[in-house]
Copies of this chain bind each other. A is one copy, B any other.
Amino acid sequence: MNVPAFAPYTEDAVTRFMRIRRQTLALCAGLSGEDLQVQSMPEASPGKWHLAHTTWFFEQFVLGCDPAYRSADPAWDYLFNSYYESVGPMHARPKRGLLTRPTLDDIRDYRSRIDEAVGELLVRGVDQPLAARIELGLQHEQQHQELLLTDIKHAFWCNPLQPAYHHASSPNESRSAPMRFVPGRQGPMDIGHHGDGFAYDNETPRHTTWLSSHALANRLVTNDEYLAFIRDGGYRDAGLWLSDGWVRVQRDGWERPLYWQQDLTSEFTLAGIQPLDPHAPVCHISYFEADAFARWAGARLPTEAEWEDAAARLPLHGNFQDNLRLHPIAMPSGDGLLQMYGDAWEWTASPYVSYPGFKPLPGALGEYNGKFMNGQWVLRGGSCATPRDHIRASYRNFFPPHARWQFAGIRLGQDR
């Protein structure tokens, strides 16, 4: 976690803090207390819990740095600790949806109180370690903003009424650019975070890796292309699938991306049921589906090193949460690699493991990333639900291979 120190913190720091914190509330503006109460699966959390947990993060890891700090209600540590074993015991994850109390109003008050306290700290000035923790809290807040959106999307989809979270944007009329493969660099290359900005511990240390001869597709796989895979029997041909993936296909009856309707012409979105845009990137697929599609296409997924080496030289443009579309859109044209950022997270061929020489953050914050380095695959590039100022080339997201409720899609890669 690399964050420069400012003492006293400028007003911009307070502004940034308040802007990001308010954005979380803004995302909940159209949701009722009932909507924010519900947990549709163990992997998701209620919106209310996201609001409280991100606040608890600041209370625990920022305000709590002051030994004199006393939490207003220690029982809330138990409720809103997500997975920090070294902080203490916690409420069982699959039961977060049962917490009707504290009420949404209580949580809003909680947010105000903690925001005020952190704001005062910032105004008084904080040292570098504390500034780093506040920055980590804001990055954490932004991660939960994305989860808040993907979790409410899942919850609404579980409702036979299939309600909409927001109004649909005007339809995108663009066609997608033709798919081309763009050669990547070969040989020893350095990846991992460098420079002054923020990064999670799992993006460090910067280190050398060897890139084989390869190429990356210039854009994401589209719904149309994915339809061709379906129509060609992709979900019925065991030979295309990893063994664990085939088990899922059969056991869970997978026949199409998570939120597609059975007719393959419409899909559930945060704007409710919408026509499927053939040119938009396919999303809400698992690693297993991305991998099977790539095999069917005679290609493979990129490694995270191939992806990062290419992305590091591109500007951070893309279809992000800031657009408020909250859905991937077609990319009509452009040179080189398109859609590397935004639209949909890109499954890579890289299991989520530590970089050589990795050191987790000291103390409880070391549990943020390192302990999940098993059974997950790296995704890169952010999505239409990611805040634009949250992503970077070295950013490593990770999910288990069967996860489908994220905005996750496919970029193809090739051996050359």
Contact = CB atoms under 8 A, between A and B. Distances in A.
Interface of A: 32-38, 40, 48, 75, 78-79, 83, 85-86, 91, 95, 97-104, 155-156, 158-161, 163, 188, 207-210, 212, 214, 238-239, 241-246, 287-288, 349-351, 353-354, 356-357, 366-367, 371-375, 401, 415
A91 B160 contact: yes
From A79, A353, A374, A375, residue with most partner B Cβ within 10 Å: A374
B212 A34 contact: no
Contacts of A159: 98-101
Contacts of A371: 241-243, 246
A202 to B, nearest CB: 13
A342 to B, nearest CB: 27
B188 A32 contact: no
A279 to B, nearest CB: 31
A245 B97 contact: no
9 contacts: A34-B37, A34-B48, A34-B101, A34-B104, A35-B100, A40-B98, A78-B160, A79-B161, A375-B375
Contacts of A85: 238-239, 246
A32 B37 CA distance: 11
Contact of A83 (B243, B288, B354, B357): B243
A154 to B, nearest CB: 10
Nearest to A85: B238
Contacts of A242: 371-374
Contacts of A38: 37, 97-98, 100
Nearest to A35: B100
B210 A209 contact: yes
Contacts of A188: 188, 210
A209 B353 CA distance: 16
A97 B97 contact: yes
Contacts of A91: 160
Nearest to A99: B159
Contacts of A75: 160-161
A100 B155 contact: yes
A156 B239 CA distance: 32
Contact of A375 (B103, B161, B401): B401
Contacts of A163: 100-101
From A83, A155, A212, residue with most partner B Cβ within 10 Å: A212
A188 B189 CA distance: 11
